[in-house]
Amino acid sequence: MKQNVFFVSGIDTDAGKSYATGFLAREWNKNGQRTITQKFIQTGNVGHSEDIDLHRRIMGILFTKEDEEGLTMPEIFSYPASPHLASQLDNRPIDFNKIKRATEKLSERYDYVLLEGAGGLMVPLTTGLLTIDYIAQEKYPLIFVTSGKLGSINHTLLSLEAIQKRGIVLDTVLYNMYPTVEDKTIQNDTMNFVRTWLEKHFPETKFILVPEIKF
């Protein structure tokens, strides 16, 4: 597999990963970098991935051939829970080989693949495998999504320590400005705090603002 797959995770389930993933894919495609998104495990759906639906709307494109082939949504479970529980309730184990084969095919066809996770870094995929350990195992560079809601500084710094401990390459931090809030006091302070922290502790990491966009 080409070294062109980036894993997208975030501080928690409501960090806006899907929104940020669609935004980044849209921007990279605008710059001539053919980019596809993948939701490696989708829960709470049957037969399709609502997160892939959102990606395509933000990217301004129709479903792709790869979407129709199921390559961008290789594992879907019906119950809206963490993957380890959703797979138990559907009485079907996660097929990690199927996920890997799908990712490899996307990697061959596109310049870049944005592989969106489920929930935050510590979400269990199985009772013995966390999302962050899957990222480290596959040696994917990480694109990490945070936001300006109350508590984000704490969640972000805890995540950064875990990322550093496992030797994961933190390529980019996406700071989600969506949805727009009237009182921007916390949002702006969190943005400046996280940016300054990255400059000191992760100087090679890019920091990108994700604005509210119309789609």
Residue ranges of the binding site for Mg(2+): 18, 51, 116
Active site residue 39: yes
Annotated binding site for substrate: 43
**Dmax (CA) of the chain:** 46
Q: How many CB atoms lie within 10 A of CB 203?
A: 7
Annotated binding site: 14-19, 43, 51, 116-119, 176-177, 211-213
Q: Which of 34, 123, 117, 115 is nearest to 71 (CA)?
A: 115
The active-site residue, picked from 2, 39, 165, 200, is 39
Annotated binding site for ATP: 14-19, 51, 116-119, 176-177, 211-213
| C-alpha dist (Å) from residue 163 to 41, 85, 99, 124 | 21, 24, 22, 16
Which positions are annotated as active-site residues?
39
